[in-house]
Structure 1
Amino acid sequence: MDRSVDQILDCVRENVDVHVQNGVLVAKSADARSLSLPAIYPEWLGDAAFAQAHGARFNYVVGEMARGIATPRMVIEAVRAGCVGFYGSAGLKPDTIQAGIQEIKAGIAQGQTSWGANLIHSPQQPGYEAEVVDLFLSMGVRRVSASAYMRLSPEVVRYTALGLSRDGQGSIRRANHVFAKVSRAEVARQFMQPAPEKILRALVSENRISPEQAELAAQVPVALDLTAEADSGGHTDNRAAAPLFSSLSIARDQVAAETGIDANMIRIGLGGGIATPHGVAAAFQMGAAYVLTGSINQAAIESGLSEPARQLLAKAGPADVGMAPAADMFEQGVEVQVLKRGTLFAMRGRKLHALYKAGLSFETMTQKDRAWLEDVLGEPFDDVWQKTRAFMLQSNPKEAARAEADGNKRLALVARRYLFMGAQWAREGVADKASDYQIWCGPAQGAFNEWVAGTFLEPIENRTVRQIALNLMEGAARLTRAGQMRAAGIAVPPTAFSCTPKRFL
């Protein structure tokens, strides 16, 4: 990587004397004051303890994107670039997850630790979460990113507790690391605190953890790394980054005061809206231990999305997103943020939810709405219901039984199938279903597209997670340097806070 301080400062005004002397920047301001400012490297942005704990070069996470969009290849390339990478294992079958983990292990150096997989709360699929945790434990997955949790589950606690032990000095060691992705302080507090006694007692009584592990889990936070998820693609509360980060920081200090836990043990990172050097620099300036990118990696060549879907992403602007019902929590009214430009998915999903909320069934709809629905589904409603029923009998027989007797419930399950298939069609690139693609996307994707327009990163064939990560981190270092100079009293022009992507070899 180019570490030239001169190049980082190539936009400084001419009447400011800037040069490097023995590796330290020496500047002279307009009033002839001499200033010495140490170098800033991308590796120094964020919390050094984070990189050390997870074996990374940069405090940068290539985030998990569910159902395999964050592929094993993406994780491998993230690790090779010096970042932390998470496999998008949420929603995949255990056999597929196992194959993905094996691929990751085969593609990285032995002993490399800066990778993990996604664990998603799955109330609609009883037993699935436990099965995935068992798989992670058996395969030595030491880092999981826990997402979509509103409250702690026994499986998250079990994963943490089974990795706890004491070293020779009596200190508690942690082998299993949970990254909690949260957008609310009340949820974050649960991960910042030790595990609840009730959950620990139940796990011990079921012989799922030992009494010794329960004792240790009662003394340390469930998670040491929490990702503040601001306005992002997929599941999101559309929170603004700065208020959210501040809220979680306050919650951390309050939890520390209440429990006696060292507040400095808990690292808060920031994701959502991280798409340009400005976003990265701002996150670190706020005090983020690390940054996490999501949407922008979907258009990268390592993504699990099809090329047609990636091309749509590459054309998006910051406003080309909308909210649509979530397939996994349709009845509860939970929404996900998706790409709006080039698809009809968001509009169709919202109408489906409106019909459900009105208490309708297919049989009680107007003829016009029935024709619309079957046109969207692409086949008769009864045929889709039979396919849905067959799946539900395997995954959740109680839900299937309810739907047999309740037409409104049948409509909900069929709608959930359509929403689910929208994401599947986008991954597979089904040509005649392009208008129904569900592509998780936040405004950050549009900001990234604007930043790379006219550069080598504009074509999607040049977008790799390595080029994206290095450009964001190098650019953030440049902006941080310019801000440091301005804070030191040096006249720095506004154009010093701009940078253009460059190709890293």
Structure 2
Amino acid sequence: MSIPIMEVEKKDSLVSDEEEKASGNVNYGNISPASLGSVQFKKDYNLKYAYVAGGMYRGVAGKEMVVKIGKEGMIGFLGTGGMELSQIGAAIQYIQKELSLGQPYGLNLLHKPSDLAMEEKTVDLFLSYGVKNIEAAAFLSITPALVKYRVQGLTRDQSGRIITVNKIIAKVSRPEVAQAFLSPASEKILSKLMDENKITPEEAGLAKEIPMADDICVEADSGGHTDSGVSFVLMPAMIKLRNEMMEKYQYHKQVRVGAAGGIGTPEAAAAAFMLGADFILTGSINQCTVEAVTSDTVKDLLQQINIQDTEYAPAGDMFELGAKVQVLKKGVFFPSRANKLYDLYRHHNSLHEIDEKTRLQIQEKYFKRSFEEVYNDVKSFYPASEIEKAECNPKHKMALIFKWYFGYSSRLALSGSEESRVDYQVHCGPALGAFNQWVKGTDLENWRNRHVDKIATKLLIETAQLLNQRYSTFHNYSLSEFKSTDNKS
């Protein structure tokens, strides 16, 4: 089953007869920005456009961005990863106050494999404020916190169909993860949550009839956590998987498939819709806008990049697992330094196994403080169980000390520290480089003129125009072939 670029009421025929087809008087210019994507997706989230502004780490996709995009008929997700619960709560209050009833918004939930307790506390905070939409990111499997969020409030309507109060858009880049989100919650997790009185037996029963996600967003090569996927490979496979899972479980409601990663130009957005995307999600291009909560110094750097100016580095929150993030390369040393730390971690069992010259280089050049000073900071941040483990396991202690650098480098970028610019960690994909080239020579070349809602609407307008042009070209080409064949006959 293929998904159309736009969903509109179908007519019996575009033309009345063969003569009108041959005349070329067919209107192929009926794609508008509002007609792109899935009608049901837009209806469910109360959107004008099938456009999502994804969450960005440490609140870079902040409350102002979420409000700005929500007022324009699109949905934005607050980037809660790395934020304190009190900060998240304050941001939710601001968003709920600024947006009218029904205007869309959501919050990102970034998987924390090393701190599942914090993940559950974050979900509890969402539930306490009545947050109805979340973007699940970097998950490798379904966790109890996710199930708890999804299942609470499930009911049936008069026709017997299940009503879901809490919606999940799952960002995925691997089929096995997509399959988990396209499946119902596991019996094991549901039973555990019931035993802990976190969900009711009725909710657990209804959970068996719905998928874990309302929507999956297929994430190709992107800024932040990435598996370096390719849209042209991922989208067809994920759509096929979605169709198979719909058939297997006989869900009453279609799970939509969106596209993310690499979308910074009309050509890229058009390709996503042509591949069958029900919606598109942008990230990197929003980091270089007025609303992005990062330093002007970072935005000045990002404004200058081209498509080759990003690099892969270890993910600080999944350091031991070897997960990767894509970050800014131009003008900074962070990618090479982060990769060096990971290589040292892989090949040594303790800090003492590393040669003295390298240890001094890390302390003086990377950290600008001693390992002992870093470890003191670490002890005040991690729970006691992690510190006890580090005291017994020198390799784990080394991992905690090295991971400190990732938080430090993010804070430097957010604050705009001039003296430590080379250590900035800035999550960013090549989509921003493509965007910079697209808007070069226009008023959007300067980031101070870039507002997240304006670049979104411009992108959608020109995507619709491009698709109309392409269809017109295809039609004219087919028409010329038809006339040529007719003349020969």
State the 1:491 CA deviation.
Answer: 8.7
Moved more, 293-302 or 361-370: 361-370
**What's the secondary structure of 2:281's corresponding residue?**
strand
Distance between the aligned counterparts of 1:236 and 1:150, measured in 2?
12
Preserved CA contact (<8 Å) 1:30 1:490: no
**What's the secondary structure of 2:391's corresponding residue?**
helix
**What's the secondary structure of 1:127's corresponding residue?**
helix
Cross-structure match for 1:408: 395
State the 1:180 CA deviation.
Answer: 0.4
Q: Aligned pair 1:134/2:93, yes or no?
A: no
Call closer, same or farther: CA 1:438–1:29 in 2, change over 3 Å. Answer: farther
- CA deviations on 1:14-53 (whole Å, 9 max, x unpaired) are xxxxxxxxxx9xxx99974332345221000011111110
Distance between the aligned counterparts of 2:242 and 2:478, measured in 1?
37
Preserved CA contact (<8 Å) 1:29 1:490: no
Partner amino acid, structure 2, of 1:451: W
Cross-structure match for 1:307: 296
Distance between the aligned counterparts of 1:208 and 1:389, measured in 2?
32
Which residue, out of 167, 172, 187, partners 2:162? 172
- CA deviations on 1:236-273 (whole Å, 9 max, x unpaired) are 000001111111111112212322225x6110000000
Cross-structure match for 2:278: 289
- CA deviations on 1:386-428 (whole Å, 9 max, x unpaired) are 1112222xxx322211222333322211110101111111111
Moved more, 293-302 or 378-387: 378-387
Alignment of 1:255-404 (within 5 A): 255-262=245-252, 265-375=254-364, 376-392=366-382, 396-404=383-391
Distance between the aligned counterparts of 1:467 and 1:202, measured in 2?
46
Cross-structure match for 2:4: none
- CA deviations on 1:123-173 (whole Å, 9 max, x unpaired) are 212411111111111101000000111110111111111131112222211
Partner amino acid, structure 2, of 1:244: L
Partner amino acid, structure 1, of 2:39: A
The two structures have a TM-score, normalised by structure 2, of: 0.91
Cross-structure match for 2:483: none
Alignment of 1:160-309 (within 5 A): 160-262=150-252, 265-309=254-298
The two structures have a TM-score, normalised by structure 1, of: 0.88
Alignment of 1:46-61 (within 5 A): 46-61=37-52
Listed as ranges, the gaps of 5+ residues in structure 1 are 1-23, 493-505
Q: Aligned pair 1:457/2:447, yes or no?
A: no
Alignment of 1:409-428 (within 5 A): 409-428=396-415
Cross-structure match for 1:14: none
Cross-structure match for 1:159: 149
Preserved CA contact (<8 Å) 1:272 1:292: yes
Alignment of 1:96-111 (within 5 A): 96-111=87-102
Preserved CA contact (<8 Å) 1:324 1:338: yes
- CA deviations on 1:171-221 (whole Å, 9 max, x unpaired) are 211111001010011111111111111111111111111111111110011
- CA deviations on 1:450-482 (whole Å, 9 max, x unpaired) are 111111111010011011101110010001101
Q: Aligned pair 1:431/2:418, yes or no?
A: yes
Preserved CA contact (<8 Å) 1:121 1:148: yes
Cross-structure match for 2:33: 42
Greater helix share, structure number: 2
Partner amino acid, structure 1, of 2:127: L
Distance between the aligned counterparts of 2:231 and 2:29, measured in 1?
29
- CA deviations on 1:282-316 (whole Å, 9 max, x unpaired) are 11111101000001100111001111011111111
Which residue, out of 474, 487, 492, partners 2:461? 474
Preserved CA contact (<8 Å) 1:29 1:489: no
Q: Aligned pair 1:89/2:80, yes or no?
A: yes
- CA deviations on 1:47-74 (whole Å, 9 max, x unpaired) are 1111110011000001111210100000
| Percent of aligned positions that are identical | 38
Preserved CA contact (<8 Å) 1:230 1:236: yes
**What's the secondary structure of 2:77's corresponding residue?**
strand
Which residue, out of 470, 477, 483, partners 2:470? 483
**What's the secondary structure of 1:372's corresponding residue?**
helix
Moved more, 380-389 or 271-280: 380-389
Preserved CA contact (<8 Å) 2:28 2:468: no
Partner amino acid, structure 2, of 1:67: R
Q: Aligned pair 1:67/2:54, yes or no?
A: no
Structure 1's consecutive aligned runs of 4 or more residues displaced over 4 angstroms after TM superposition are: 28-32
State the 1:349 CA deviation.
Answer: 0.5
Call closer, same or farther: CA 1:380–1:252 in 2, change over 3 Å. Answer: same
**What's the secondary structure of 1:64's corresponding residue?**
coil
Moved more, 478-487 or 68-77: 478-487
Preserved CA contact (<8 Å) 2:24 2:476: no
Preserved CA contact (<8 Å) 1:66 1:118: no
Listed as ranges, the gaps of 5+ residues in structure 2 are 1-14, 480-489
- CA deviations on 1:333-360 (whole Å, 9 max, x unpaired) are 1111101001000000011111111114
State the 1:443 CA deviation.
Answer: 1.1
Cross-structure match for 2:433: 446
Distance between the aligned counterparts of 1:195 and 1:385, measured in 2?
39
Distance between the aligned counterparts of 1:31 and 1:184, measured in 2?
46
Distance between the aligned counterparts of 1:157 and 1:126, measured in 2?
13
